[in-house]
Amino acid sequence: MITTTRTRWGATRSGRRGLALWAPSLVIGLVVAAVLGGIAWAVNPAPNPALLGIVIAAASLPIGTVLGWVLLVDRTSLEGAVARPEESVESVWLDRAMAGALPDAMAAIGLAAGAIAVSGKDVPAGAVLIVLWFLVALDVAARYLLLRRQA
């Protein structure tokens, strides 16, 4: 039985709500947590790998459960959900902000690569990538907020 009633937590396409929706979501969360915990346990070279596996599993359980909910819930059953989010003004603002940030990102990557090459310093790639990602994210956020303010 498909229902059109919109609620805060939504429903599946078949109309399951409440525990009937969250129980399968929790099962998906448990599977995700077990897989990630098992991988961490298997690859950890420490003397006590079980501890890391348990911590990773416990930390990923809520995330996996929400992932299960996202996979199972029908968007049209959510209270306040936009019918076509890809056509919303916010989506247009985000597209324009990301398109505007692309040339900035290319310039930042080029300048960083040039500075590293000229300086001759041995800089960890992970640190460079994190800084560049953070700068690009700030650029997109600033452009989005500017577009929102102009509207």
pLDDT, one tens digit per residue, over 41-51 is: 999 888 888 99
Residue recorded with tokens 């998906």: 28
Residue 81 in 3-state DSSP?
coil
Which amino acid is located at 108 in the chain?
Answer: A
Interval 83-108: pLDDT, tens: 677 778 888 999 999 999 999 999 99
Helices (H), 1-124: 19-43, 49-72, 89-119
Q: How confident is the model at residue 82 (pLDDT cuts 50, 70, 90)?
A: low
Share of the chain above pLDDT 90, in %: 54
Are residues 61 and 30 in contact, defined by beta-carbon separation less than 8 angstroms? yes
**Exposed, middle or buried, 44 (CB in 10 Å: 0-12/13-18/19+)?**
middle
- Amino acid 1: pLDDT: 46
Closest CA to 3 of 18, 128, 134: 18
CB-based contacts of 79: which residues, under 8 Å, 6+ apart?
Answer: 6, 7, 8, 10
